[in-house]
Amino acid sequence: MKSVYDIIREPVITEASIKNMQDKKYTFKVPCSANKVEIKKAVEEAFEVKVEKVYTITMKRKTKRVGYNVGKTAAWKKAIVKLTPDSKTIEFFDSLM
């Protein structure tokens, strides 16, 4: 069985994700094999909050070029977690708003 920290790899901090924090939506990078149920349980266990809904997006590989060499970035999965209205906020993200 995967641990909580195997599923939640790192937070995604962009302008759009910071804007979504006002609506209690938090963005995380997760493994491509993780499903919505695993993500929901991991966030509830790690941050002690109630999750209302989980949205997942698979980010495709992109071609990158450095001089003459051409390569591709890794594919990854992004999870946007929406908390219930009566749930507390995630303390890690409070300093960003």
**What pTM does this model have?**
0.88
Give domain 4-85's CATH architecture.
2-Layer Sandwich (3.30)
pLDDT confidence band for 1 (50 / 70 / 90): low
> 50 vs 9, 47, 57, CA distance in Å?
19, 9, 21
Q: How confident is the prediction for the chain on average, in pLDDT?
A: 93
4, 64, 48, 2: which is closest to 28 by C-alpha?
4
Question: Residue ranges of the domains in the chain?
Answer: 4-85
**How many Cβ atoms are within 10 Å of 6's Cβ, its own excluded?**
13
51: part of which helix (H) or strand (E)?
Answer: strand 51-59
Cβ atoms of 43 and 52 within 8 Å: the answer is no
Position 14 scores a pLDDT of: 94
Position 95 scores a pLDDT of: 77
- Per-residue pLDDT reduced to its tens digit, 11-53: 999 999 999 999 999 999 999 999 999 999 999 999 999 999 9
Chain centroid to CA 58: 11
The type of residue at 57 is: I
